[in-house]
Every structure is written in structure tokens, then in C-alpha cells.
Structure 1
Amino acid sequence: MQQLIVSALLASLWTLSTGAGDWCYQSQFSCDHQCNAPEKWDHANSNCGGRQQSPINVVTRKTLKDERLTPFKFQNYQQTFSGTIKNNGHSVQVGVPHLSTISGGGLPDTYKAVQFHLHWGSNGGPGSEHTIDGEQYPMELHIVHMKHQYTDLTTALSDPEGVAVLGIFYERSNSANRKYDHIINALKSIKNTDGNTSLLPISLAQLMPAEQNLTSYYRYKGSLTTPGCTEAVIWTLFEHPVPLSIEQLRAFSELKFHDGKPMVGTFRPVQPLNGRQVYRSGGAMMLASSTLLMLAITTALGFSQSN
């Protein structure tokens, strides 16, 4: 009996030491730091074991065209603001004044921007959370919005459609993207956990793909990609990535987790679809069709030249 009591006490102490909130990425797990890595996030929060979790792998040939996925209406996305950029121990996050909104695009309501943050790999290697046909991009931006009538994210997350997140991929470029200079330069001041600094004026629009590329996107219902993994998110994943140089991508890997280790591999592995359907905008479908057409023409030309 005494042995059972001791075992129970040890188990409860381990639970307290890891803590419901003590979750980590796989890159943080070690013998010295036995935290709840992604496969055990349901220990940190039971929601993480749900059936509509994010991120996912988008299999483009299995997506369905949805005529309701029209172009978005971006309000005040061009407006500059001076925010605070912070190393929150898991990512880089910037709070956004609730002035920028999105509507249209098949969304059930108007949503206002709350914050944005990023997920990345190691030194410019694979690091996006979502993947497209198994391809993992170097980094992924999440612009988090909540329904316009809510005043805080906690309340919005109690609504099954209370949050809308825009996901934007990055690709490696031979030249630096000057639109990201303010963010990249600020990283030097927030290397340690809880470090924060003022961000020189930026707009959400300058973080996005070019306007003509914003009509091609994927849509599905999912969750937050960190604990508590609440399943209240309408996801939009833009097809066209934003270019950054390898030096810009590597700058994020110079940040540090709370234990001083490099902040790398800050992505959750893809989760099962569990029967969910992923939809595709008309723009994305047209783009795919034109790509296939060009491939067919190239193949035909090659065939005719060989005969």
C-alpha cells in the first residue's frame, strides 16, 4: 500500500513538474528537459487529441473547388502601425491593433486581426507547419483574426467559427526581401525568451504575397497549432509563397528558447484529416489547370520533336 502511495506521489510530482502548460517542440526535448513534446501534447491539453487538429498536409488532387471562396476584402491592411515584437518562448509574436479586418473569401463574418507569429525550421531548412503535397516550406506566417464582435481571443475560441487564420508560406530567394527589414533587424534585440522591443512601422499588407496572388488559396476547418489546440479555426492557406533570402530565414534560428538552446524546429507535425474536406478557391484551381496545360503542351512538343 505504501509503495502505491509513493508511486502516486511520484506520478503527481512528475505531472506538476511537466505541468499542463509545459509543452515543447521536438527540438527542445532532451534528457535534461523532458517536456510534453508534440506526440504528448494531449497530456498538456486534451484538446490536442481531437479529430480536427492542425496543421495538415494538403493533397491538392483531393481538394474540391468551392465557388464561395471568392477574393477577400482586406480593410486597413495597408495601414502602418508600430507594434511590439516579442520572443514568447515558442515563437516571435507581434500584437496588431484591431483595425485591420478581412471579410469575403467564404468567411461567415468579418474578422479583425489580433496578432501574427511565425513557425520555422533550422537555419532556413524545412519548417512550415502545413505542407502542400508533402512539401514543407522553410517558414510559415500565421495572421490570427477573431470575429469582429469579440474583444479577446479566449471568448472567440469558444465559438466554433470564432477565429480565422491566414497562413502564408515562405520560399528561399537569391535576394533579400526589403519589406521584412524591420522584423529581421528587430530579432537581434529579442534573442532571449520574454525579450521584446518596439517594431518600426509596418503594415500587414507588406507581409503578404502580391495582391494578384491572393485569390489562390486552400480552406479547411481546424485548430490552433499549439496547446490548447482549440478546434475553432477557419484556416486559409495561400498558394503563393513570399520570398526571403537564406540570411533572412537563418536570422530566426538565432533566437533562443528559455533554456538558452537555439529556437529551431518550431512547428507541429501534420495531423490526420479524419475525413475533413479541403477546399480550393477558383483562382487556385485555374492556376493548377494552367500548370497542367503547360505541362501537356511541353510534353506534346517534346514528343513531336523526338519523332
Structure 2
Amino acid sequence: EENFESKERTACRGKIAISDIRIPLMWKDSDHFSNKERSQYYAIFCLFKLGAEVFDTEMVIVDKTVTDICFENVTIFNEAGPDFQIKVEVYSCCTEESSITNTPKKLAKKLKTSISKATGKKISSVLQEDHEMCLSFSSAIYGAKYSLLAHTTLSLESAEDSFKTHNLSVNGNEESSFWLPLYGNMCCRLVAQPTCMAENVFAGFLNEQQMVGGLIHWRRLYCVLRGGKLYCFYTPEEIEAKVEPALIVSINKETRIRAVDKDKTKRIHNFSVINPVAGQAVIHIFSADNREDLQKWMEAFWQHFFDLSKLTFGFSSSIFM
């Protein structure tokens, strides 16, 4: 007998999306409201690193009239495990422009470098894991130097379908040319979509036991395990036709699945799915066609239980569409 419960398992991987990044600034009133002709502009961008994957945001230009640094990019990592650690790094470069005609838009165009368009491959050769904290990039324009302004790490605990505030470790001080008066935090939305919740885990025919007039009947159903539910249809074609399932059974952390002893109908590949509903045990009995199919279903259920135990967050699919 294979012991599905004690088998060593690896949790399913999934997609992680980072979006709606806001980094508040706290200028002194004298800075924020002064309207000097000579103004300092800062070119800012973020890097996101997960293992060998590196992504960057568009560059934004801020000056003393801006109260929040905002990045509109949506960054998606496709192969993240539940123990993921995404390093977020904020880079800054200051430039003094003597003429008021240099608007942020013109300046952004002037300061655009290969960094903001670079692929992860290009950047990852520059960014070693043990890089110095003061790592800076030199742009194609002489004198434009990007320094690490702040950084933080995002993990599974940060993932939920809402805005969350994260502490930032800030580098440098007022004497540093790249320095900006950060509050020391960053708001963003970090959404996770585990593969096992979005895609079919397992599918195949099962026979469901029904009691009709005190007699046992079996109905044949095509069942799909996905996202903590067992969806049961009369035929696989019904899924394609978007027909409502004939039966939906919860498969979650509260569910118990047990092999059933041989019964009088000689169907020896049975198992029961037991769910607590309003204090009562709701039981569904299924039968697989053969021992091999039964073992495949048991393996799929136990893997799904394991994956669900690792998911401590709500997940969203809308952002990945």
C-alpha cells in the first residue's frame, strides 16, 4: 500500500504580480513650496529580482512638487515557489537643470538609458547576488549615475489582493547626490496565483454512489480537480460547452478522504469524500474504474492537500488575464 500522506512532496509553483507601487516623499515645506528657477530633478526606477530573473520598471522623473513616486508597471514572475523572496531595489539619479524649460517630460527623454529598456539577462550580468549596496549604473549621458536609494524584500506573507505597506531600507543621507526624503515605506499590490488553483490538477471518470428509493445507484461522471473543488460533469464535452457541473464537491483543508471497504456490489475501488457542513458530515462516495485510477486520484488529492496547506493567502486571477 502506498502511503500518500507521508510521501515527501514539493509544493506547486505559481505566478506573482507586483503592481501599483507608491513611494511617499516627505519634502520640507520650504522645499516643497519653493518655486526657484533652478530645480533639481531625480530620475527613479525599480528593479525586481527573483533568483536569476530580473525585471525593471519604467523610469519616472520627480522634483520637489511631487509627493509620491508612482510606478504604473505590472511585473509578473511566472515560476515562483511558495518560499519566494523578491528583492526590490529603488535606484535614483539627481540632475540639476538651470532652465525651467527642461520639463520632467523632456528630461525623462534625455535621461532614458538602456537600463529602463534592458532585459533581465543584460542586467543580471551586472547584478551579482553579493553586489555592494552602493552599486550604481552609469548611463549613456555623461554624469548620469544611478545609485541604490532603497531596498526591501517581498515574500509570500506580503501576498494578498490588496494594497499593503512594506518597510524600505534607505541608503545614503542628505549629503548624497541621489538622496530623496523617503518616509521609509513603499505601498504596492502583490498578488499570487498558484498553478494548482488556476489549472486542472487531475481529471478523469469516476462513478458517484446515489441512494434512490433505498437502493444504491451509480452515476458516471467526468471529474476535474481544480482550485480546492472537484467539478463533476456527465461528459468532458460539457466543460468545453461551459455547462454547469452536475456536482461540485469541496476539496480543502477540512476535507477527509478515506478508502471504503469492499461492498456487496463488488466495486472495490471506492473512496469517500467527507466535508463538515454546518456541524454535519456530508459524505460523497466515488468509485474508480480500477486500482491504478484509484491510486492516481489518491495521489492527486494528497498533492492538492499539500499545496493548499502552503497557501496562506488569497489569490486573484484578474491581474493575470
State the structure with more CA Rg. Answer: 2
Which of structures 1 and 2 has the larger relative contact order (alpha carbons within 8 angstroms, sep 6+)?
Answer: 1
> Aligning the two structures, in what range does the TM-score lie when normalised by the shorter sequence?
under 0.3
Q: Which of the two has greater helix per residue?
A: 1
Q: Which of the two has greater strand per residue?
A: 2
**TM-score, with normalisation over the residues of structure 2?**
0.25
**TM-score, with normalisation over the residues of structure 1?**
0.25
